[in-house]
A and B are shown apart, each in its own frame.
Chain A
Amino acid sequence: MGKVKKGPKKGLSDAGKKKAPAKALNPFEVHVNRQKFQVLGRKTKTDRGLPGVARSRALKKRKATLLQEYKLKDKTNKFMDRRIGERNSAMTAEDKMTARFTAERMRAQTRKAMFNLADEEVLTHRGQTLNEIEKFDDPRSDDDDDDGEDNPFRSKGNLDADFVGDAHFGGGLLSRSNEDGTRSRKDLIDQLIAESKKRKAEQQKLREQTLDLTEKLDTDWKDLLPVINSAPKASEVEKPKPDSFDVLMRELKFEARGKPSDKLKSEDEVAREEKEKLEELEAARLRRMQGITESSSDAASKHRSADDLDDGFAMDTDQDDSENDESENNGGMDIDDKDDEGSEDEEEEDDDDGNDDGDDGVGNNGSEEENVGEESSESEDDDIDDLRYDSSDNENNTDNEEFGSKKTKKEMIKSTAPESFKQQPRSKTGNVENVSSSSSTPHTDKAEAIREDLRKRKELMDAARKELPYTFEVPSTYEELQIVLAGRSPEYQGVIVERMIKCTHPSLASGNKEKLAHLFTLLMQHLHDAGTAEEHENVCWAVLDRLVPSLFDIVQWCPDDTTQCIRHVIQEKHQEYSKSRKKFPGVETLLFFKLISLLFPTSDFRHPVVTPALVFMGQMLSACRLETRQDIAKGLLLVSLLLEFTVLSKRFSPESVNFLRNVLYLSSNLSSTQKVTSAAKLPAVRPIPPVKVFALPKLSLKPEFEDDSYRSHEPEDRLSAQDLISQKPVDNDFCMSALFVSLRILSSMVKQLTSLPACRQIFCHFPPLLESLCMENRLPQRIKKELKDLQELMSSIKQTTLNYLVSAPKRPKPLKLYEPNIQQVYTDGKQHRPISKEKQESEKLLHRYKREKKGALREIRKDRDFLAKIRIKQQLKSDAERKDKVREIFGQASMQQGEMRKLSKGKKKK
């Protein structure tokens, strides 16, 4: 009970506070919904209501709208409100007023009204005519009014209360009996007039006095003003000088805090970090190779001990750590870059560091760049061993320099030129070394020649650097790019693009990333066009060779756009290819596969760029016909690319194995000499489609030497880019080098796959082919040796034993842990179900719809009730009227009857 009583009071006070000017509520009209429990923090909207008020409001509204409509129902006549804006709910009251006013003014401007002099326009302000306002324009009047209000008795010569009381109402008996009751009324009035005149005069005087005084005060004040204004200034000047200690303290307090910078690292540390970073990146790559994504690795490797309480305390902190590290490393490159940007000054230092690091391994290497060419061959081996670390160091250096600002451009270019040169020849020599080591016979003179070539190229590049302007704008259209690059040699093109990128480094301006991404697409087009050029001027590989570092940089900066671009290129190429499936596409297509292997990690289990490329390459290898020299060359390039793609992941592609099998078949004498019928009998040496089994192949790769010239004939180590485009028929040289290359590819492929148990089955078709090749006597020595090696390799594969497949042992089922099903409880009173945002939104809408529907139904019901009530009221009213009338008529009739009867009685009596 107490609560009930308390409730409304409290509520009333609340309500009063909320809308102070509102009328005080009648406490009997308030309905309170009592809360059973008071919950802290819960907002209650419906704790009290005013049912009576609400009902009457609703009724009023219905009367204004629904009742009017009801009355007008089935009526042809209608009352229209033609007042301006009355029916337009969009207009506010003010709008309406102005609209009406303008309409009125318009009417006044009509011709008729022009001569209506009497009805002159009276301008008003707040209901007063302007004339009136002007009269009281004197500002002093305000004060007077106030005075008047303050002393009502003295104001404006009014009669005072005593007098009025006496004169008008006589003052009663007592007063009359007082002193001068004899005075006549005339005297009294005279006295009254005199008095009031006197008072008026006094007032007049007083007002004049005050007026004078105020004016005097004003003038005085104006004189004083400068004094008053200057006073505070003086006080400011006098302010004591702050204590030097305070100043210092404040300075210290508000000084921008220095960010903790990385401590200066020693050379060892830098090197170690570099190494760690690379190792971690490599680890991430390995993980991707196995197809383990971040999330899955998390789920799979999360070991749960039997004692795990599921309390969130994880034992496997080390894993988390490693993951963190990894994420850092993913962004590692960028972070480093940023650091480098800031530290231009350190460039020189870093530079030295890099060289020093190089010195660790190489000794004479880092000293001077120019002597690369003259390096003695004995130091080469060491050189190559250290090449990896070395190049990574150098890479950083070049990065640093690239990120330099424009100020230091001149110096920078001086330093970069030899720098990037230094490593290019090195990596070159490294590759050459690899090649020669794989072919097991050192060809020093060849290496020498290559080195010579490199030196020439370096000189060319230097010349290019000197000749070209230092800054280049990134072109916006392909035509502009062509203007810049057309006619330049690949070296020049490389330098131009490099400088373009330097001038639009992403750190220099905000839109540069987009510009670079655009440049990337343009460069793709450029590469493509270079690939489709004529035979004798086809320099596409050289162009790619020079553009690759720049392309790599762009890809690192904006991976998303460039990846999209490359994917687009592949898709386009694939569409082109699917128009003629039996023909190898042009060099410009193959070019992009090499680019992909340079820009993207080809060892990933699945990669948005690499995987489609792999599918595409496989399609070409398995469907394209082998009819010309080009076909063989392109196929072999694809096979070697596939080998490169899979060298780390050690994956296996049936298409490339099949292709090699076909090439060997074509170069063996089986293809030409064997009878077609017997081919079917020997399934082991059958070629695989697209090479036809039963028909003679259109192309033979079998070298034909008439005499003993084969002895002097040494096959080329490597096929050349010219083979990809030349229209010449197959000659002995090409046969030899194709055979030699495919044998070497085969051997490295076999080595790559030896770990697979089915390796012998994958390559089971090759031993007979190799045997038949061996039978051929007229082969150069190197090929024979290669053949022998391969045969040995094949037989060594056969030596291994095969372990039977065993499926993973079944893990024991973990005991069921009856843990409480803990659910998150949120205290904000809302439901937290794990639903998607769209679903949440739709549920919200549904809820609102239901609520609205309910409300609308209720309104309709009330409307119906209202109308029903009105109808019954009308019915009752008309019934009552009818009854009255009936009664009246009956009354009249009975009176008539009575009179009739009276008359007839009278007659009877008579």
Chain B
Amino acid sequence: MAASKVSKKLHSMAIDFLSSRRNANNLADIIALIESNESNIPPCLLALEIIFLEVLKRRDMFLENPAAGSCAVDTESQYRIWLRECFDDAWSKILAVVSNSPKISVQTQALSTAMKLIAMEGQNPLEPLKKEEHYFPNNRLRLLLVAILSSGRNGGQLLARLQEFSTYPDVLYNVWKQLFPIAIGLQRSGQRPDENFIRNYLDLIDKFPLPKPGRGERGQDHDLTDNLLCGQQGHNGYILNMDHMRKAVNKVWGCVMHWNHTPATQRLLLVVLLERVLPFLDKPLLLTDYLMDSLDSGGAISLLALQGIFTLIQNHNLEYPNIFSKLYSMFEPEIFHTKFKARLFYLSDMFLSSTHLPENIVAAFAKRLARLSLVAPPEDIHIILMFIGNLILRHPGLKLLIDNPNRTNVPEDPFVMEERDPSKSRAMESSLWELHALQSHVLPGVGTAANFIYNPLPSVEWDLSQILEDNSDDIFEREMKKKLKEIALTFDRPQSLSLPQHERVSQFWQLV
């Protein structure tokens, strides 16, 4: 009840303020009220929104000569200057709400109020414009962005709200333009950005995708005026300047790279780099060192770095001799329990897709994967089996691994699992006994999949992409769906908990 009362009161105050200048003090009251009580924030925001949208529309704050404004004497310009001060004050309060309010709903409300005000100010500038200039309240946008970025954990949801505005080309352009000053501002003030800030910053980059280079160039002769957030009347031909964008991206990235990253943010950084930023960088080869460093940190980070390096090799003629041993060292038992498992298999399938690789390297991969399959969960064994099968198909020399009639036996497996260099692992002297063991895997699906070593190889490679995303639930579902005609039953009637024959559990357990 109290809340609705307050909101009604505030609403009437706002209306009064707009109707007559005699009630000018209402504005100051509202601004003061916003800090008084947590529950007052939403109605205050609404009232401020009503007031300033109307004021901006009426151009009540418009000053012909801003420089002369300070020494103006007539009441009209004094009032205008006062209004401006109020507006600035209110703006800073709104931003404070955005960055500090504990409630996410209040934060989003403040954010949308701020964006509405920006839009209105963009449409009705406070100062006279130069000709053909597109006005955007950049200052306010920067402050807003800083507020969002420093809002801690909730940043993600705010950014998701902000992302809705990324369809406006002018917002997109100006956000990118403001990102660099934010970053450099931090650096100059000597602050170290904390983890949340970095995460939000990267999230922002991720959520404001740059237009594809091809599309952008076409956009130059494309009139985007209809689709502007702050389109002033009488201005035509808004052009998304791709060169400026590129420059902004490069500058931003130069800053971001040098921040202090935790492993989590570094992973995020790499994801953003790979998926968003890399095509826009002027000199991607400069990333090589950075990627090399990340490559050594292990786990998902090195995997992502590897993908970056792969892109560099593929598109930018990077020469990196050690790449295969790096990839080789990535196959560790822990890989099966990371999120990026599918990515690793996808990547390594690409890396090893060339048929001109030396056989001993490929054989080392096959053998290492086979070893890993002995500890892997069933869904990964499937992938590994197909992967090895594909390797053998690509490199017929590897058939020696599954069919070696010339040699009879060895006392010990010649393959050296601990060797870091795939070319020295002596894999070609070995044989894939592990696959033979997998034939008696406890799950029938795996057992039959491993049978391929005894059957003639197919002429077409197995399609990995279908099973990369499989998980063990899928296997369970598949087994549940399978219907056998007859259901076999045991024929020994048990008299108690222990089996009549081959009881094992009761050897280790006293259950009854």
Residues of chain A whose beta carbon lies under 8 Å from any beta carbon of chain B: 278, 281, 284-285, 288, 291, 330, 333, 388, 391-392, 395, 398-399, 420, 423-424, 427-428, 431, 434-435, 438, 541-542, 544-546, 548-549, 552-553, 555-556, 559-560, 563, 567, 570-571, 574, 578, 594, 597-601, 604-609, 611-612, 614-616, 618-619, 622, 636-637, 640-655, 657-658, 683, 686, 688-690, 693, 717-721, 741, 744-745, 748, 753, 756-762, 798, 801-808
10 more contacts with CB within 8 A, not counting A291-B444, A552-B493, A802-B412, are: A431-B498, A559-B489, A571-B480, A606-B484, A615-B443, A651-B447, A688-B334, A748-B504, A761-B371, A804-B404
- Interface status of B403 (Cβ within 8 A of chain A): yes
Contact B405 A608 (CB under 8 A): no
Q: Which of A281, A546, A753 contacts B491 (CB 8 A)?
A: A281
Interface residue count for B (Cβ, 8 Å)?
76
Stretch of B18-26, B220-228, B372-380 on the interface side: B372-380
Q: Which of A545, A607, A645, A651 contacts B488 (CB 8 A)?
A: A607
Contact B505 A637 (CB under 8 A): yes
Nearest B residue to A650, CB-CB: B440
Stretch of B97-105, B127-135, B232-240, B429-437 on the interface side: B429-437
Known contacts A544-B497, A608-B484, A644-B503; A683/B509 CB under 8 A: no
Least CB distance from B365 to A in Å reads: 17
Query: Which residues in A have their C-beta under 8 angstroms from that of B436?
Result: 756-758, 805
Least CB distance from B10 to A in Å reads: 46
- Interface status of B289 (Cβ within 8 A of chain A): no
Contact A622 B504 (CB under 8 A): no
Query: Which residues in B have their C-beta under 8 angstroms from that of A570?
Result: 480
Distance, CA A569 to CA B50, complexed state (A): 61
Contact B433 A761 (CB under 8 A): yes
Query: Which residues in A have their C-beta under 8 angstroms from that of B484?
Result: 606-608
Least CB distance from B370 to A in Å reads: 9
Least CB distance from A286 to B in Å reads: 12
- Interface status of B215 (Cβ within 8 A of chain A): no
Q: Which of A544, A606, A758 contacts B433 (CB 8 A)?
A: A758
Nearest A residue to B495, CB-CB: A424
Query: Which residues in B have their C-beta under 8 angstroms from that of A645?
Result: 442
Q: What is the number of contacts between chain A and chain B, taking CB atoms within 8 Å?
A: 267
Cβ proximity bits B402-438 to A, threshold 8 Å, 1 near / 0 not: 1111011111110000100000000000011110110
Contact B433 A545 (CB under 8 A): no
Contact A424 B496 (CB under 8 A): yes
Q: Which of B378, B404, B440, B497 contacts A545 (CB 8 A)?
A: B497
Contact A619 B440 (CB under 8 A): no
- Interface status of B164 (Cβ within 8 A of chain A): no
Residues of chain B whose beta carbon lies under 8 Å from any beta carbon of chain A: 332-334, 336-337, 371, 374-378, 381, 401-405, 407-413, 418, 431-434, 436-437, 440-444, 447-448, 453-454, 472-473, 475-476, 479-480, 482-484, 486-512
Nearest 4 CB-CB pairs, A to B? A758-B437, A644-B504, A541-B511, A689-B337
Least CB distance from A196 to B in Å reads: 100
Contact B489 A556 (CB under 8 A): yes
Least CB distance from A47 to B in Å reads: 50
Least CB distance from A643 to B in Å reads: 5
Least CB distance from B298 to A in Å reads: 8
Contact B408 A555 (CB under 8 A): no
Distance, CA A427 to CA B431, complexed state (A): 46
Query: Which residues in B have their C-beta under 8 angstroms from that of A278?
Result: 491
Query: Which residues in B have their C-beta under 8 angstroms from that of A748?
Result: 504
Query: Which residues in A have their C-beta under 8 angstroms from that of B413?
Result: 760-761, 802
Contact B442 A653 (CB under 8 A): yes
Distance, CA A601 to CA B505, complexed state (A): 15
Query: Which residues in A have their C-beta under 8 angstroms from that of B504?
Result: 640, 643-644, 647, 748
Interface of B is mostly: loop
A-B contact pairs, 7 of them (CB 8 A): A285-B488, A598-B494, A618-B378, A618-B442, A651-B447, A759-B437, A761-B413
Distance, CA A496 to CA B164, complexed state (A): 68
Contact B437 A757 (CB under 8 A): yes
Query: Which residues in A have their C-beta under 8 angstroms from that of B332?
Result: 683
Contact A652 B491 (CB under 8 A): no
Q: Which of B374, B476, B487, B488 contacts A654 (CB 8 A)?
A: B374
Nearest B residue to A720, CB-CB: B510
Contact B488 A601 (CB under 8 A): yes
Query: Which residues in B have their C-beta under 8 angstroms from that of A648?
Result: 502
Query: Which residues in A have their C-beta under 8 angstroms from that of B374?
Result: 654, 657, 758, 761-762
Query: Which residues in B have their C-beta under 8 angstroms from that of A616?
Result: 476
Residue among B408, B483, B486, B497 with most chain A CB within 10 A? B497
Contact B488 A802 (CB under 8 A): no
Contact A636 B508 (CB under 8 A): yes
Contact A615 B433 (CB under 8 A): no
Contact B495 A427 (CB under 8 A): yes
Residue among B374, B401, B502 with most chain A CB within 10 A? B374
Least CB distance from B418 to A in Å reads: 7
Contact B488 A612 (CB under 8 A): no
Query: Which residues in A have their C-beta under 8 angstroms from that of B493?
Result: 395, 398-399, 549, 552-553
Distance, CA A195 to CA B255, complexed state (A): 154
Nearest B residue to A542, CB-CB: B512
Contact B509 A719 (CB under 8 A): yes
Known contacts A556-B489, A757-B437; A641/B442 CB under 8 A: no
Contact B488 A600 (CB under 8 A): yes
Q: Which of A650, A654, A808 contacts B375 (CB 8 A)?
A: A654
Contact B490 A804 (CB under 8 A): no
Contact B443 A618 (CB under 8 A): yes
Contact B489 A600 (CB under 8 A): yes
Contact A803 B508 (CB under 8 A): no
Contact A615 B475 (CB under 8 A): yes
Least CB distance from A631 to B in Å reads: 16
Contact B437 A658 (CB under 8 A): no
Nearest A residue to B475, CB-CB: A615
Contact A805 B403 (CB under 8 A): yes
Contact A420 B476 (CB under 8 A): no
Distance, CA A744 to CA B506, complexed state (A): 13
Query: Which residues in B have their C-beta under 8 angstroms from that of A611?
Result: 443-444, 479, 482
Known contacts A541-B497, A552-B493; A805/B479 CB under 8 A: no
Distance, CA A706 to CA B381, complexed state (A): 45
Contact A804 B489 (CB under 8 A): no
Contact B503 A431 (CB under 8 A): yes
Q: Which of B378, B381, B500, B508 contacts A744 (CB 8 A)?
A: B508
Distance, CA A291 to CA B451, complexed state (A): 12
Query: Which residues in B have their C-beta under 8 angstroms from that of A650?
Result: 440
Q: Which of A424, A574, A654, A803 contacts B408 (CB 8 A)?
A: A803
Contact A756 B375 (CB under 8 A): no
Contact A689 B431 (CB under 8 A): no
Contact B497 A548 (CB under 8 A): yes
Query: Which residues in B have their C-beta under 8 angstroms from that of A542?
Result: 512
Query: Which residues in B have their C-beta under 8 angstroms from that of A802?
Result: 409-413, 431, 433
